């Protein structure tokens, strides 16, 4: 019987999934059990097959996202170690992942560490999370130049919400929301809330919850 570490990967993007599979197959220490397209498939697979490590993308298209699947898997199979991955730069997911006991978190596009290093460290008992937020250019500035509250407002803006709806969700006034949006436009050089939302969405700078679970609404231009 092989004593290699049994790995399942799940990502709905063919290129990313193929990349993960290639890394696992090339590593002597690991054995690839399956490469799957959905979070639902991953949850069902690990129920039926003994698995040591699951590499799981956060954003999925089948109605169940990686965070939701990871939480369900951890409840049933706490012994399975999980690495959540994403090509977006949405940092709020790190806090959610820690809260549900996910061992490690890896940014595909922005992490300076290789996937195999994260795999090795995770299987050696470490919990590996990025030390800094991803460095992502956004207009005339970078993500780091926006405050946490500005990022909160921008995230809700990508969800097609009006100022009043954003204010209600964030428990602030509509005027405060409007001021934050104006401040972001001044910093970045984008000329409208639509430009802000479209560019933030295209970059994966922030991701609204509706997009994380597969929604594809278009940013709203309402004031």
Backbone φ and ψ for 29, nearest 5 degrees, come out as -75, -20
pTM of the model: 0.82
Chain mean pLDDT for the chain:
89
**What is d(CA 221, CA 186) in angstroms, rounded to the nearest whole number?**
18
Strand-pair partners of 27: none
Q: Are residues 118 and 143 in the same domain?
A: no
Q: How far is CA 215 from CA 13, 78, 87, 108, in A?
A: 16, 29, 17, 22
223 falls within a domain: no
- What is the DSSP code string of 75-91? HH-TTSEEEEEESS--T
CB 73 within 8 A of CB 46: yes
132 falls within a domain: no
Tens digits of residue pLDDT in 149-201? 999 999 999 988 999 999 999 999 999 999 999 999 999 999 999 999 999 98
Tens digits of residue pLDDT in 18-42? 999 998 999 999 999 999 999 999 9
Rg (CA), the chain: 19
174 falls within a domain: yes
CATH number of the domain within which 148 lies: 1.10.10.10
Q: Is the pLDDT of residue 220 over 50?
A: no
Domain that holds residue 184: 137-212
Tens digits of residue pLDDT in 195-217? 999 999 888 888 887 777 653 33
> Which among 101, 123, 145 is the end of a domain?
123
**What is d(CA 123, CA 52) in angstroms, rounded to the nearest whole number?**
8
9 falls within a domain: yes
Number of folded domains that form the chain: 2
185 falls within a domain: yes
């Amino acid at each position: 019987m092989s004593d290699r570490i049994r790995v399942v990967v799940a990502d709905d993007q063919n290129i990313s999934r193929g990349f993960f599979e290639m890394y696992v197959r090339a590593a002597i220490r690991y054995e690839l059990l399956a490469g799957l397209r959905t979070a639902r498939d991953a949850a069902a697979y690990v129920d039926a097959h003994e698995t040591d490590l699951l590499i799981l993308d956060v954003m999925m298209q089948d109605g169940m996202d990686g965070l939701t699947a990871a939480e369900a898997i951890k409840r049933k199979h706490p012994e399975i170690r999980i690495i959540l991955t994403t090509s977006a730069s949405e940092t709020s997911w790190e806090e959610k992942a820690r809260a549900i006991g996910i061992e490690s978190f890896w940014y595909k596009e922005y992490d300076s560490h290789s996937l195999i290093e994260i795999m090795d460290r995770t299987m050696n008992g470490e919990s590996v999370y990025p030390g800094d937020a991803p460095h992502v250019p956004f207009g005339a500035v970078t993500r780091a130049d926006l405050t946490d509250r500005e990022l909160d407002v921008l995230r809700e803006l990508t969800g097609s919400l009006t100022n009043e709806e954003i204010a209600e969700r964030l428990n602030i006034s509509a005027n405060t929301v409007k001021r934050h949006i104006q401040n972001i436009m001044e910093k970045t050089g984008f000329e409208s809330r639509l430009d802000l939302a479209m560019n933030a969405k295209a970059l994966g700078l922030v991701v609204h919850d509706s997009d994380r679970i597969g929604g594809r609404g278009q940013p709203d231009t309402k004031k």
